[in-house]
Chains A and B, each alone.
Chain A
Amino acid sequence: MIDLHPNIDAELIPILEEVADPEIPVLTVLDLGVIREAVIRNGKVLIKLTPTYSGCPAMDVIGDDLKAAFLKKGMEAEITLVLAPAWSTDWISEEGKRKMEAYGIAAPLEETADKEALLGNKPLVKCTNCGSTHTRLVSQFGSTACKALFQCEDCMEPFDYFKCLK
């Protein structure tokens, strides 16, 4: 069972909430679920960060942004990249999913529905503009590896869908 509530010192939360995903700036690193641990040990902030995708270029930026955010509060942060357990879209918070949709990116469906949608079998992905599920897959890969490109057949809006990753 994967722990959805990683070990994070309460006093660090407000600072972590200031650090956003550079690709989807409405999401904080906490919304995204990439912080696996954040604790203070001997005056130093120790952070375990997990990548969404192996090659996600945002990860290096997030690491640097975290260090900068803590430095501003006079704290030194040390970042360790951890691969296991592998990140899953289940770790995106409900609040994060709402913010993502408001930003124009359809939030990940659950696994079976995701497969049906990405194989083009069933129109299940909801248009972020008009709410219609009358949408079609344009490309399995969108503007980044974590997203697929969809288009709404009703309002014609093209939009990104955040793919389910389990």
Chain B
Amino acid sequence: MKDQDLYNYILGIADNSLILGQRLGELCGHGPNLETDIALTNIALDLFGQTRSYYQYAAKIAGDGRTEDDIAMLRNERDYKNVLLVEQPNTHFGHVIARQFLFDVYHLQLMNALQHSEDEMLVAIARKGVKEVSYHKRFSGDWLKRLGDGTDESKQKIQEAIDHFWPYTDELFDMSDSDKKMAEQGIGVDLTALKDEYYKQISEVLEEATLTIPDNPYSKRGGKQGIHTEHMGYILTELQYMQRTYPNMTW
């Protein structure tokens, strides 16, 4: 493939949205109340929509006859390059909100920066995405504050969730070889440059939510190299079930 690095770069971004969307989709009909159920599944829908744009573009670059669906449904676990954070289970509402917020802040930074890419298609996707992602961040940030500054129980649960996911945040800023090459060419985003601002923004909201900023130097990583946690296989089993059982089926 001529543009292997661009292809890898696009999939790196898209896989995060696909897997997080799949996680949120699990909550359809299971949200804590009707409004949050609808909100979380709407966010999932936005993420899937963005994923489609990326995969369609990636399929065009690959030029080997594969479609967006093949890329989404027919890869093996090691070929998915999403960060470990987005594949972590929903566990309880505090976990859903903490995981979402820690991702949304990064995602919005990425969408803002990607609007300055040298690649026209990525600029178009980012311009569309930035409007949606700012909404996601507003939703998760509001809930974080509401839970943190809420009852004793909600505070304890959301703090536990933030502490739990904290070690997964560092990987968001890891750059693969393709990421580095794309950043050098002005197509990709230099993720390392986003890191300070990320923790600054997170800390501000945590403070407003009367929560404690975790002081944990330990970090967990691997997803960006395709080395996933035990949860990933289960997600793919569900995600790919129809295509694996009835190859090439369409609705």
**A86 pairs with B128, CB closer than 8 A:** yes
- The answer for the CA separation of A137 and B227 in the assembled complex, in Å, is 43
> Assuming the A-B contacts A54-B129, A84-B123, A140-B135, are A145 and B35 also in contact, with contact meaning beta carbons closer than 8 angstroms in the complex?
no
Counted as pairs of residues, one from A and one from B, with CB atoms less than 8 Å apart, the total is 69
Distance between Cα atoms of A39 and B34 in the complex (Å):
44
The answer to the question of A165 belonging to the interface, with a C-beta cut-off of 8 Å to chain B, is yes
> Counting CB contacts under 8 A, is A73 at the interface?
no
Residues of B that sit less than 8 Å from A by CB: 35-36, 38-39, 42-43, 45-50, 52-53, 120-121, 123-125, 127-129, 131-132, 135, 138-139, 142
Q: Is the CB of A138 within 8 A of B35?
A: yes
CB distance B35 to A86 under 8 Å? no
**Residues on the A chain within 8 Å of B42, using CB:** 141, 144-145
Q: Are A54 and B53 in contact (CB under 8 A)?
A: yes
Given the known interface contacts A54-B132, A86-B124, A166-B131, the answer about A141 and B50 at a Cβ–Cβ threshold of 8 Å is no
A51 within 8 A of B: yes
Q: What are the residues of chain B within 8 A of A138 when measuring CB–CB? A: 35
**Does A149 contact B35, Cβ atoms closer than 8 Å?**
yes
| A51–B47 alpha-carbon span in the complex (Å) | 14
Asked, given contacts A54-B132, A165-B131, whether A142 binds B124 with beta carbons under 8 Å apart, the answer is no
In the complex, per-residue mask of A130-166: 1 if CB is within 8 Å of any chain B CB, else 0: 0000000011111111000100000000000000011
Residue of A nearest to B121 (CB): A83
- Residue of B with least CB distance to A145: B42
- Say yes or no: A57 contacts B127, CB within 8 Å: no
A55 to B24, CA, bound (A): 14
Name the residue of chain B whose CB is nearest to the CB of A88.
B131
> Closest chain A residue to B45 by CB distance?
A55
A87 to B132, CA, bound (A): 12
Query: Are A140 and B49 in contact (CB-based, < 8 A)?
Result: no
Question: Is A55 a contact of B35 with CB atoms below 8 Å?
Answer: no
A56 at the interface (CB under 8 A from B): yes
Using known A-B contacts A53-B132, A55-B47, determine if residue A141 contacts B53 with beta carbons closer than 8 Å.
no
B117 to chain A, nearest CB (A): 12
B39 touches A83 (CB 8 A): no
Most chain B CB within 10 A, of A138, A140, A141, A145, is at A141
Chain B residues closer than 8 Å to A54, beta-carbon distance: 46, 49-50, 52-53, 125, 128-129, 132
The one of A56, A84, A140 in contact with B39, judged by C-beta atoms closer than 8 angstroms, is: A140
| B135 proximity list for chain A (CB < 8 A) | 140
Q: Tell me the complex Cα distance, A94–B236, Å.
A: 46
* A interface residues, Cβ below 8 angstroms from B: 51, 53-57, 83-87, 118, 138-145, 149, 165-166
B10 to chain A, nearest CB (A): 14
- A138 vs B38: C-alpha distance in the bound complex, in angstroms? 12
Query: Which listed residue (B43, B48, B125, B132) contacts A83, Cβ 8 A?
Result: B125
**Sample of 18 more A-B contacts, CB < 8 Å, known A139-B39, A140-B142, A141-B35:** A51-B49, A54-B46, A54-B129, A54-B132, A55-B48, A55-B52, A57-B45, A83-B53, A83-B124, A84-B123, A84-B127, A138-B35, A139-B35, A140-B135, A140-B139, A142-B38, A145-B42, A145-B45
A-B contact pairs, 20 of them (CB 8 A): A53-B132, A54-B46, A54-B50, A54-B52, A54-B125, A54-B128, A55-B46, A55-B52, A83-B127, A84-B123, A86-B128, A139-B35, A139-B39, A141-B39, A141-B43, A141-B139, A142-B38, A143-B38, A145-B42, A145-B45
* Residues of B with C-beta under 8 A to A165: 131
Task: List 8 tightest A-B contacts by C-beta distance, closest first.
Answer: A55-B49, A54-B49, A84-B124, A139-B35, A141-B39, A55-B45, A83-B124, A145-B42
Whole-angstrom distance between the Cβ of B233 and the nearest chain A Cβ = 25
CA distance A86 to B129 in the complex (A): 9
Minimum Cβ distance to chain A for residue B12 (Å): 18
Specify which of B38, B42, B52, B139 lies most central, judged by the most chain A CB atoms within 10 Å of its CB: B42
